[in-house]
Amino acid sequence: MATALQRLKAAGRGPRYTTSCPSRHGGKLRLAASECPACPGCQYVDVAVVRDGLEAVVRLLPSPARAEMRRLLTRLDRDFRRRTLPDSSPEARWNGEPLPWWHRRIHRN
């Protein structure tokens, strides 16, 4: 869980995910999707998968820990939203079920 939190925190700040032309996109991040999502190690390249894992953990925590974790995720999510752009494209990975907001951010092509 600590690694996942560090990954989400880095995605909300890190230059590792920046676009090649920050001025064109206002310095917003363009996320990298995993090239091999079936691989247990590679799937966590995609921050949306990392965030899914953290959400699953939050649901399993007892009340006091869940509330504390939810506060932490709220802060990290705020940074992540601020640093990424929404993907309004109709082709945005849709499988028939509503996806959490963190799946609907612009990824690099």
Residue-wise pLDDT tens digits, 1-18:
788 888 888 877 755 444
Q: pTM (2 decimals)? A: 0.73
Tokens of 103: 């799946």
pLDDT for 61 equals 96
CA 53 – CA 84 distance, rounded (Å): 19
The sign of the torsion formed by the CA atoms of 83, 61, 53, 88 equals negative
Between the CA atoms of 99, 27, 78 and 1, what dihedral angle is there, to the nearest 10 degrees? 70
Residue-wise pLDDT tens digits, 34-69:
777 677 777 777 888 889 999 999 999 999 999 999
Q: What is the DSSP letter of 26?
A: T
